[in-house]
Structure 1
Amino acid sequence: MSSPGDVPPEILNRLRSICRQLPESHEEPAWIGVRWRIRARTFAHVYAPDVERSPVYAPYATDGREPVVMTFRVPDDDLLGLTAPGFPYFRADWGPNVVVAVLGDHTDWTEIAELVTDSYCGMAPKFLAARVPNPPPLD
């Protein structure tokens, strides 16, 4: 059984390859898991939540392991379209435009790259967001 906050290296490395391409972004340990920030603003946060403390994640636990999730921000216009279909996305309980993505073998990494990039662009100063290639290249 993994510990809350543990993120498998393969997922962490995929996210690192996306985030390191974003101007002036940096990675740091969070209270649980890892987060990426632009200046003092978090644009992506990945972790394995404790399903006993946060039962909203319980349906996504498999084989006795905590799920791995990433939170990020989406433009208000995209919120309903992304979360209405359900898995692997749902709305977080905090912040008006925060979404949770359940990550795993099913993950569409091209879509995750676009979502993380959009989250970054929404949080970054405009001059930095303007330097982001669209679509972002994947390593």
Structure 2
Amino acid sequence: MAARPDVPLDMLDRLREVLSALPSCTEEDAWVGVRWRVGSATVAHVFGGEDGLFRITFRAEAEELMAFERLGPPYFRGEWGENVVGMLLDERTDWGELAELLVDAYCIQAPARLAARVERPA
């Protein structure tokens, strides 16, 4: 089995900038990579794959899930959970778009009282 690479610090820094600004969103080491949680709910999980590629998974609204599937790469549907979307991270990643998706994911996972404190993208 190939080793999974560590997530590059520049990727983690970009993700931290978005996720650490969200109320009660905490970072922790995951079984592989790093994840951010609000309470016991995972908001996002970034990791290196055995293929050397980097991925992030997050939650999406049910009606958006099929759109992500149809878009294809860099998006993919998670193999667990009903609303898990994944995205390959590389030099072509649109970090602004990803930031919006992560804020949406937070609002899906967070209690309503915390989600109400977040300004969501239009």
- Please report the TM-score for the alignment, with normalisation by the length of structure 2: 0.94
Name structure 2 gaps, 5 residues minimum.
none
Mapped to 1, the partners of 2:117 and 2:107 lie a distance apart of 10
Give runs of aligned pairs for residues 112-127 of structure 1, distance below 5 A.
Answer: 112-127=98-113
Give runs of aligned pairs for residues 84-103 of structure 1, distance below 5 A.
Answer: 84-103=70-89
How far does residue 20 in structure 1 lie from its aligned partner after superposition? 0.8
How far does residue 5 in structure 1 lie from its aligned partner after superposition? 4.9
Mapped to 1, the partners of 2:45 and 2:7 lie a distance apart of 11
Match of 1:25 in 2: 25
Is residue 67 of structure 1 aligned with residue 60 of structure 2?
no
Asked if the contact 2:59/2:84 (under 8 Å) is kept, the reply is yes
Match of 1:105 in 2: 91
User: Which amino acid in the other structure matches residue 49 of structure 2?
Assistant: P
How far does residue 3 in structure 1 lie from its aligned partner after superposition? 4.2
Mapped to 1, the partners of 2:50 and 2:40 lie a distance apart of 26
Match of 2:16 in 1: 16
Asked if the contact 1:26/1:37 (under 8 Å) is kept, the reply is yes
Q: 1:134 to 1:41 in 2, by over 3 A?
A: same
How far does residue 134 in structure 1 lie from its aligned partner after superposition? 2.6
Report percent identity of matched pairs: 45
Mapped to 2, the partners of 1:33 and 1:5 lie a distance apart of 9
Runs of 4+ in 1 over 6 A off after TM superposition: none
How far does residue 135 in structure 1 lie from its aligned partner after superposition? 3.0
SS at match of 2:22: coil
Mapped to 2, the partners of 1:135 and 1:74 lie a distance apart of 14
How far does residue 83 in structure 1 lie from its aligned partner after superposition? 2.1
Match of 1:80 in 2: 66
Name structure 1 gaps, 5 residues minimum.
52-65
| Richer in strand (by share) | 2
SS at match of 1:23: coil
CA deviations on 1:95-137 (whole Å, 9 max, x unpaired) are 111011000111111110111111110010001001012339x
Q: Which moved more, 1:127-136 or 1:105-114?
A: 127-136
